[in-house]
Amino acid sequence: MAGSLSPRSAGSDDIEEVHEINVTPFIDVMLVLLIIFMIAAPLATVDVPVDLPGSSATPQPRPTEPVYLTVRSDLGLVLGELPVAREALAADLDKAAKGDHEARIFLRADQKVEYGELMKVMNLLREAGYLKVALVGLEQVPDASAPAAGARP
């Protein structure tokens, strides 16, 4: 119940009841929620254009007999130097890695291969039991005239 401070009738000491909803707390809550959503909405968006640079990291030493799986631009798979069907990939990987599921598989892909197609091949590797996958890229030598990362002009 809410009371009113309006003038009372003479001789009555009772506070008169008001039958209206007090919307001030409701408006305050709505404004706080609006501010929260205005701040949180841009943070939930993951639409950032990214142009990934080449890697200039020090190359790791290769194993004596690396297992290379290549995804060609026509989405065909090549294991070592022999073409392989997607259905036979698990069996051919077992032969190439000599049954060692801990062997690292070096995955190469043409630049024209879409990311989704590359993920399908990685899923085939996971289903075959090969969880150690190394992505192979071109080694780039850093430009000597460019400032080092973190260096200030």
pLDDT digits (tens, 9 = 90+) for 49-107: 544 456 666 766 777 788 888 888 888 898 888 889 999 999 999 998 888 888 888 88
* Residue keyed to tokens 């000599």: 98
Give the predicted TM-score (pTM) of the model.
Answer: 0.53
Q: Which residue has the higher pLDDT, 47 or 74?
A: 74
Query: Hey, what are 59's tokens?
Result: 């190359």
User: In the chain, what are the domain boundaries?
Assistant: 67-136
5-9: list long-range contacts, CB under 8 Å, 24+ apart: none
Query: Hey, what are 1's tokens?
Result: 């119940």
Please list the alpha-helical segments (H only) found in 97-153.
115-127
Which fold is adopted by the domain 67-136?
Answer: Nucleotidyltransferase; domain 5 (3.30.420)
Residues 6+ apart with CB under 8 A from 71: 77, 107, 108, 109, 110, 113, 117, 118, 121
